[in-house]
Structure 1
């Protein structure tokens, strides 16, 4: 049965409260919207991932609304109490430490419970690190997938990378400075030398985007030790490279480089883009393919 939410219908006596998902700054406090500030002032309760971090934000904007904790380790007990309060008619704002709540965040479970109970869930949009990194990456934005944090251990990471190997859309993920080199090394092994953007410190004074191939960015990190959490934006798989032959070899294995480029040109792709796709298929630097087919 389809259930319709009318987000801004006037409240009647006995109606449930509303769960607002309020975006907070990812670095620069000027990312905060007027609507977000007003909402945080008007609700009866703010549920925060880290109350110490959120309290600083509330103090800055002179918001005195009651603050409670909702995070991964107390989500069962806290979540059921928040749902009870919403059903009693109180409106609650959910915030994360930075950016949009409920994205790679335990807030998603609270949203699911609220929806199940027929409670209105209203987004208050704002900053998001992954999308901000995507739009400055220089990589395709017409199709993309957000994949959260990669697994930490070697075997699950390898399985995760294998599962995503043939995704044609641009991939977006988060990684810590302590694991980024290991993750890039595994990507190079499983995906080949794709184009990538490593973005950190978004909206802050030291905002930085390092763009190149995976191997080039790995070399760059050797000279510039990673600092801060990274948004990694990685080129997707080349179209046509998804299926391997019966012997397990890629479809282009028997082709000469020029024939491989011609295959893409015959699909209406210009030569420059065709060369990029061939380089991605074969895990070769783009300039090596260009030099080989233009001798």
Structure 2
């Protein structure tokens, strides 16, 4: 079987994508598959025609790989590809929309509001910020309504930090999502498969020496991971059930990662969904596979071969 991995792109997460593509290619080649890695550029469509029988694995992070546009192009060409289809990807990519779809008793989500940058100019930034604090209190988390890898995300503990956090957020998009910060244990659950056949890998517990930001995620040393997470049987079931509920409600396919906080009341508070999770040497899905006792190359091969059943 031939595999065409798409990695790179022009988003802020290009470097992560390149590293993910390289690692997946190595694992698949070790399994005896023929793999080509290429960027998304003017040569993409000719390459898809040349590799018409290949399974395409889009490993682009950020808008170009997760907002449904690349998936729509692959669908136009008739390519077989790994991952969520374009319509469902568009829903998952917009965090406030995704929250409205997956939120439920078994997959709670922090209270939030989404506001465009233009509103702050029209109404007056200080007045809007005051209204936010009055409504939600502190601490707060400010993040772009679209995006990944914690780019543009800030934890705000004091009112005078809020304006700076909004400026940082708007550097990555025109809409900001401000949500209540939740205390608890940070957990990531990776899901493999589709629909009723989906299954959760071992939860990963994340302990960071500060915010779990871009630097902490992709540069070793600031974070300690526990796989499987240090949870009892009941808590493990809570977080895995929440991840499976999100994956199925959003109609995700093949693989995803659901990030959440297990709060003091034992509820899984879902923070984010990744339809193209990072697969670098420090990424969470490979750690989850290892914690589940799975061979990573065999897992990736099963994902690729499963595409033929779509």
Q: Give the TM-score normalised by the residue count of structure 2.
A: 0.31
Higher percent of residues as strand: 2
